[in-house]
Amino acid sequence: MARVDTSDRNFYDRNYFNAHDRTGDIFVVSGFGVYPNLGVRDAFVSVRRGDAQRSVRYSDALDTRVIEPAVGGYRIEVIKPLQTVRVICDHPDLSADLVWEGSFPAVLEEHHLLMDGPRPSLDATRFAQVGSWSGTLSVDGTDIAVEPGVWTGSRDRSWGIRAVGEREPLGRMGDEPVGGFWWTYVPLRFDDFALMIIAQEGPDGHRSLNHATRIFADGRVEQLGWPRFEIAYRTGTRIPESVRIHLTTPAGEALVVDIELRGFVVLQIGSGYGSDPDWNHGQWRGRGWSASTRYNLADPALAPRIPFGNLEHVAHATCGGAEGWGMFEHMVAGRHDPSGFHDGNAMAP
């Protein structure tokens, strides 16, 4: 889009992907975004293996005459709309040639609105899909075969208003902050269906976003009510260890999802999300900019970024006797009374 119907500097349009081999030993996240009112396009790929997280980023000017989703050594090719997508990254430290195949139809999520005092800080529309991956991946000289029978994940496409680019002055909100933010996003792939579960709550537990659907191969989408979450956190942290989600079918029957959590990737380290101090989506870094960083997540200097940030976990799930795989994305920043975090520094007992 060369010009959009708002002059808000924070308008964005982004593709997002994740991939893993179910073990929890490796997790790949990637994204490509354009920011028409900032004149910027950018992309990233981050891969976590053990305590090492390699992140490659590209950024450049957004030429209004160019509509291909590409920047630097990164590009996306749509092979079959809403079904088959190829993601390519060409960098000496991290290269990938991966093909996504949707396992179930993409689903349109509930409209996402998050207020920061009197102003929307997020006002976005998104569709999402679960699927499988095939291709090749090379990280710091190690070649990894990506087999579709093993590698799975999810992807989404979103657009709207979201804080991007250089940090804006806080103004009034510096004196009157929101106080807390609780977020959970759970796309899961089973053999016969997919689950898409989303919830967003304020510091007192008031839920401002709720989405729970079961998607079937024939295109049917079944609503699953108001999810209730039981999350056990690791002592002294805000990192979840296990999850149970209670859902309700349209017939009023209980549907329970148990999730075992394996390795996670830290979105605010190297991938440009949230409080990442190294790079933020939409920032102007000049023409033809790129960067590659290898992070040691065991480094005490990085520890403060992890507890209150957005973590994406490899998820092994069971639901009504069915086994599934996917992602459990979770963030608790500031206060969240239902979780027992009664102030911004509280940790699990």
| 150-206: pLDDT as tens digits | 999 999 999 999 999 998 887 877 787 778 999 999 999 999 999 999 999 999 999
Domain residue limits at 143 = 11-339
pTM of the model: 0.95
Q: Within a domain: residue 231? A: yes
Q: Within a domain: residue 6? A: no
Q: Within a domain: residue 4? A: no
Supply the DSSP string of 313-325, one letter for each residue. Answer: EEEEEEETTEEEE
| 226-246: pLDDT as tens digits | 999 999 999 999 999 999 999
Q: Within a domain: residue 3? A: no
| 183-198: pLDDT as tens digits | 999 999 999 999 999 9
CB-count exposure of residue 345 (10 Å: 0-12, 13-18, 19+): exposed
Average pLDDT over residues 273-291: 93
In a 13 Å sphere around the CA of 215, the CA atoms on its Cβ side amount to 24
- CATH number of the domain residue 272 falls in: 2.40.370.10
The total number of structural domains in the chain stands at: 1
Residue 253: name the closest of 309, 319, 158 by CA.
Answer: 319
pLDDT at position 97 = 98
Q: Within a domain: residue 328? A: yes
| 220-231: pLDDT as tens digits | 999 999 999 999
